[in-house]
Amino acid sequence: GGATGGGSLSSDELYLLDIRQEEKTQWMSVPVLGPTPGRRYGHTMIFNKPLLIVFGGNNGQQAECDIWVLDVEHSPFQWNEVSVLHARCPLPRVYHSAEVCREGPAAGMMVVFGGRTPDNRSLKDTWGLRQHRDGRWDWVEAPTKRGQPPEPRFQHACMFLNSKLLIVGGRGSDVNKPLPTAVYDTETCEWRNIASVNRFRHSCWGMGPLLFSYGGFDHKSPSAPTADLQVLDLDRAISASLAPPMPGSEEDVAPASDVAPPGSGNTVPGSTIDLTPAYPVGEAPGQVRGGAFQGAQSQAPTEGPRPATPPRARPLGASQPPRPAVEIPMQGDVRVSPQVIVSVE
């Protein structure tokens, strides 16, 4: 899916990149039988083993809220549209974010945040999609018990740190207004703002306690894409948000783009980063995609015995055991802070 530079929609073919042999990587078209999700842009596609899940987007005529799944463990591949129980579900949307929660009470759910409606209204709602043991699917809206939900936004990114959902960057109706990074704790249903990565239409990913953001558009110059690589230490950023800083203290949490803009002392032109993972990436817990936000009202009872509750992650600000350091070997002045670590042009 997606749109081309000329504004037309790309095909809805499915492609696979085999990265097991770096010197021989190539894209391959994956044959699929039967109906497909159709051409669209601004949608999300995530992997929740063994399913690829496509949600929402715009088909060139209107925004959608449909769900399509493809089981990668059963050949030949075939897309299936999901019928969801009950009428309560997210509005049709485009440019939203989605990610799978792997830990805590919402483990196994695809969590969706924000986006833009057909009438160009930015959204700030959070929903979880789950599958019951009997095959039924339903949506659960995430409750807020403490804090305020993030400002409405679209063209943002999201990721999970343990049981915490991070909403990174994005834009609202005012393209020049940067938006703070927001953290939602699925254990306590609490929202909190931390240091910001001020980008939209960027990509981001996590490794251990670090959040990496690459590219996207800057709110100060929104007409040209950037080539920045920004790194945020999430543990330190969350800790900094829990204790109010002293007036005039340098520990005050500032937007990332105000801490290490391109051209500052933390910019290392033409360099590369070799990353050593702090620990191996684990598998998702089990095959059940049916958790629930702590305190959320279920839309339908689950038949049969429920799965064992996965180990719960620590709430915001909880002490953490020592862990191996994540090394970032680079030349130049690189510092770790609750804001940007590195910016590469």
> What pLDDT sits at residue 261?
35
> What pLDDT sits at residue 278?
30
Report the alpha-carbon distance of residue 333 to residue 119 in Å, rounded: 46
H or E element in which residue 279 lies: none
Report the alpha-carbon distance of residue 188 to residue 277 in Å, rounded: 29
> What pLDDT sits at residue 290?
57
Residue pair 122/155 in contact by the 8 Å Cβ criterion: no
Identify which of 153, 164, 248 has the alpha carbon closest to the alpha carbon of residue 201: 153
> What pLDDT sits at residue 225?
93
Residue type, 131: Q
> What pLDDT sits at residue 241?
83
Domains and CATH numbers, the chain: 83-245+252-259 (2.120.10.80)
Is 217 strand, coil or helix? Answer: strand
- Using the Cα atoms of residue 206, residue 211, residue 212 and residue 218 in order, give the sign of their dihedral: positive
Instruction: Name residue 28's beta-bridge partners.
Output: 16
> What pLDDT sits at residue 175?
95
Is 262 strand, coil or helix? Answer: coil
Residues 236, 237, 238, 241, Cα dihedral to 10° = 120
Q: Which residues of the chain fall below pLDDT 50? A: 245-246, 248-289, 299-345
Report the alpha-carbon distance of residue 340 to residue 345 in Å, rounded: 14
Say which DSSP state 146 is in: B
Task: Read off the pTM.
Answer: 0.74
Enumerate the H helices of 243-330 as residue ranges: 256-259
Q: Which residue's structure tokens are 């403490």?
A: 146
Task: Phi first, then psi: give them for residue 234, nearest 5 degrees.
Answer: -70, -40
> What pLDDT sits at residue 335?
35
Q: Which residue's structure tokens are 């960027």?
A: 202
Residue pair 149/124 in contact by the 8 Å Cβ criterion: yes
> What pLDDT sits at residue 160?
95
Mind giving me the DSSP string for 37-80?
A: --S-BS-EEEEETTEEEEEEEE-SSSEEEEEEEEETTSSS-BEE
Residue type, 6: G
